[in-house]
């Protein structure tokens, strides 16, 4: 007679099978397994402690919704933070969802909006720069705003919801193009450095699929629609290739990433020309930069200002 499959820790029917760990778990034990797994990663990689204040960047997507919920369950001092990017309906929907989740979790929500902070919208800036890469300008501005907010709220660390798929996708891209500087800096922890806050990715060991099942199990809303400017077709190809590998060799993405951190990253770090990486404060905004003159954002803003004056 066929044996009924049960949760590894109780007699309930499984909610999920974690292939690479060969674990069947019911909903309740899956939630505690995920939270404990993240807790162990936070400790192992010395991301932060219960004394630290953490700016948790929440976009409304499943990953960052999972992040805020997990860190809240683990009892950390968190400051949920949302950046309004001013992207038509997408930003409005995202804000509503993030607000709702914070209400459910009984947390305050801190909001900055790009135009309010920088005087121009991303659209105006990319128009003035005559550049079509809306997404890469948006990424630069988001990181800048996170840094400003982290200083304003005097937090110790900035946490983002990057998962294992995001991280291995970036690693794959950086290896294919031999981007040495990026390879030397890629990792779950970016140390505090000359005015830049420490940055951490507590979900970096978890596949996005498991984060999706976590937010579903917790009954939390999240934004399913993609940003209308989201990264193009090349990203999609990397994602497909890596998913194919993972489906056929469970656990290979995590091994790829952990072995990179252990064996390859130190070599790239050594190879980096330390001089070229020296940071100094931007003469306009005091944000640290490795550029010779103003930081990238100040140069974007100066060009935009000139364009709007003419
Ligand atoms: P992305 O670069 O869009 O893949 O997002 C990576 C991570 O950055 C998310 O998991 C969030 O932690 C953070 N993030 C992205 N967009 C926002 C936003 N609008 N507000 C706050 N945090 C964000
Ligand atoms: Fe920045 Fe889509 S979130 S361009
Ligand atoms: Zn169980
Ligand atoms: Zn600057």
Measured by CA distance, the residue closest to atom 17 of ligand 1 is: 59
pTM comes to 0.95
For the chain, the structural domain boundaries read 47-221+232-276, 278-310
- Token code pair at residue 133: 């890469």
Which ligand has the nearest atom to the CA of 68?
1
Ligand 2 environment, Cβ below 6 A: 85, 134-135, 138, 227, 229-230
The pLDDT tens digits of the residues spanning 184-217 come to 989 999 999 877 899 999 999 999 999 999 999 9
* pLDDT at position 169: 95
Query: Over the chain (310 residues), what is each successive 10-residue block's mean pLDDT?
Result: 86 94 96 98 98 98 98 98 94 98 98 94 90 86 95 96 96 93 92 89 97 98 90 81 94 97 94 69 86 90 86
- For residue 142, the ligand 2 atom closest to its alpha carbon is 1
* pLDDT at position 277: 65
Measured by CA distance, the residue closest to atom 14 of ligand 1 is: 59
Ligand 1 environment, Cβ below 6 A: 57-59, 63-64, 81-83, 85, 142, 160-162
47-221+232-276 in CATH: which number? Answer: 3.40.50.620
In the reported structure, the alpha carbon of residue 2 is separated from the centroid of ligand 2 by a whole-number distance in angstroms of 50
- For residue 230, the ligand 2 atom closest to its alpha carbon is 2
């Amino acid at each position: 007679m066929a044996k009924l499959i049960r949760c590894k820790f109780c007699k309930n029917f499984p909610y999920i099978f974690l292939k690479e760990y060969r674990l069947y778990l019911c909903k309740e034990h899956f939630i505690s397994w995920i939270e404990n797994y993240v807790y162990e990663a936070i400790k192992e990689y010395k991301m932060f402690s219960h004394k630290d204040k953490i700016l948790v960047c929440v976009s409304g997507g499943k990953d960052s919704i999972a992040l805020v919920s997990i860190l809240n369950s683990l009892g950390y001092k968190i400051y949920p933070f949302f950046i309004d990017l001013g992207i038509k309906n997408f930003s409005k929907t995202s804000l509503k969802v993030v607000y709702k989740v914070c209400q459910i979790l009984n947390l305050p929500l801190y909001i900055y909006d790009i135009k309010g902070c920088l005087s121009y919208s991303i659209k105006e800036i990319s128009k003035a720069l005559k550049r079509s890469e809306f997404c890469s300008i948006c990424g630069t501005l988001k990181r800048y705003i996170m840094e400003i907010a982290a200083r304003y709220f005097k937090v110790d660390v900035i946490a983002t919801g990057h998962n294992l798929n995001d991280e291995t996708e970036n690693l794959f891209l950086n290896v294919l193009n031999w981007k040495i500087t990026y390879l030397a800096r890629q990792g779950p922890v970016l140390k505090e450095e000359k005015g830049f806050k420490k940055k951490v990715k507590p979900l970096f060991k978890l596949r996005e699929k498991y984060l999706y099942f976590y937010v579903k199990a917790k009954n939390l809303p999240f934004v399913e629609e993609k940003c209308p400017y989201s990264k193009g077709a090349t990203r999609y190809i990397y994602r497909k290739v890596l998913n194919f590998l993972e489906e056929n060799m469970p656990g290979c993405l995590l091994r790829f990433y952990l072995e990179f951190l252990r064996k390859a990253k130190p070599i790239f770090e050594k190879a980096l020309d330390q001089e070229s990486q020296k940071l100094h404060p931007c003469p306009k905004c005091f944000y640290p930069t490795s550029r010779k003159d103003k930081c990238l954002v100040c140069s974007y803003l100066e060009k935009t200002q000139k364009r709007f004056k003419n």
